[in-house]
Amino acid sequence: MFNEIVNFLVHFCNSIGYLGVYVYMLLVGTFIPVPSELVLLPAGYLAATGQKHLLLLWLVGSLGSLTGALINYFLAKYLVNKLLKDKPIIEKVNKFWKRHGKISAFLAPLTPGLGQYISIPAGLSHMPLRWFIPLTYSANLIWVGFMLMIGYLFGTGESAHKEVVYGSLFLLGGVIVVASIYVFMDLRKDKNS
C-alpha cells in the first residue's frame, strides 16, 4: 500500500513537470492547506534518478511558494485590512510585527503548517516588500532545498545518508525551537513592561 502511494506521487510529480511544481508550490504558499512534501520529496527523487534537474526544481519550487506568499500578503494588505480597518486586532498585529516581523517572516516558512500564513500579518502591517520578499524567499529556498534533498537522498538508494537526514531534521528543529523561545521571551518581556 505504501509503495503504491509513493509510486503514485512520483508519477504525479513527473507528469506535472516544472510548471506543475511551480503552481503546486504557489498553492502551498497561499492559505490553502496543502503539504509541500507531497511534491517536493518525489521531485527530489526524480532529480536523483536523472528525470528532473535539481537546481531548476529548487528555484521553481521556491519561486512558486514566494508567489503564493505574495498573494496572501496583498490580500491581507488591501482586502483584509479594509474589512478589519478599526478593529483592535490590527493594532496588535502592527505592534507585534514592528518588534518581530523580520524574524517571523524568515522563520515561519521553515515551520511546517505555519509558513504560508505568516504573509497575512506581514500584509496587514504593511511590511515593506524590500524586507518581505528576500526574507520569505530565503526561507523558502532553505525549506524547498531541504525537502528536495531528502527526496534526492532516497532516490540515490544509499542508506548511509539517513544520518544526514536525521541530523538535518534535528538541526532545523533546534533552530525553530531556539527562535520560538526567543520570541516567546521577548513577548513576555513586553507584556511585563
Total number of domains in the chain = 1
What is the reported pLDDT for 193? 58
Tens-digit pLDDT profile for the chain (193 aa)?
A: 667 877 787 888 888 999 999 999 999 999 888 888 889 999 999 999 999 999 999 999 999 999 999 999 999 999 887 777 777 777 888 888 888 888 888 888 888 777 888 999 999 889 999 999 999 999 999 999 989 988 888 887 755 455 655 666 666 666 667 766 766 676 666 666 5
Tell me how far apart the alpha carbons of residues 94 and 121 are, in angstroms, rounded to a whole number: 8
Tell me how far apart the alpha carbons of residues 183 and 178 are, in angstroms, rounded to a whole number: 9
| Three-state helix/strand/coil letters over 34-69 | CCCHHHHHHHHHHHHCCCCCHHHHHHHHHHHHHHHH
- The half-sphere exposure of 193 on its side-chain side, counting CA atoms within 13 A, is 6
- Is the full-model pTM beyond 0.85? no
Domain assignment of residue 44, given as a range? 2-192
